[in-house]
Amino acid sequence: MHIVMTADHAGVDLKDELAAWLKEQGHDVLDLGTHGHESVDYPRFGALMAEALADGRAERGITICGSGIGVAIAANRNPACRCAQVDEPLSAALGRKHNDANAIAMGARLIGPEMAKACVIAFLTTEFEGGRHQRRVDQLTNPSERETA
């Protein structure tokens, strides 16, 4: 699977660890930074991940900041991105099953590498259920759909 990864300075170590682990699992990882501990602005990295999903460079995305909240908000500004902020595997699985999330955001200050890996596994292996959930996902992408639902 083609996976785009981004992080700010708070998430760079977790991003790097997950990227190496995902490559070992046979995934193609597009790492769009950051690549150091110098302070950077998280909105840029949420947006970069979303852009890679929107233009087809990646099928799924993972973004990391201190809490996971800021990068998720930034990523979700792009209508092509449905980024779920997750702290444990059930949220990651439900984000896929019910919301067709194509990205997850995690907080490096909130979870460790093993929990992050468990979230990634749930995110990458859970399928979207479709059905009644598809109508709701369509409303996320096309606000005009909300008026008729």
Active site residues: 65, 98
Q: List C-alpha distances in Å: 122 to 14, 40, 64.
A: 17, 29, 17
Classify residue 137 by burial, with Cβ atoms within 10 Å: 0-12, 13-18, 19+: middle
For 52-96, the DSSP string reads HHHTTS-SEEEEEESSSHHHHHHHTTSTT--EEE-SSHHHHHHHH
Maximum Cα–Cα distance across the chain:
48
Of all helices (H) and strands (E), which one includes residue 27?
Answer: none
Distance between CA atoms of residues 36 and 14, nearest Å: 12
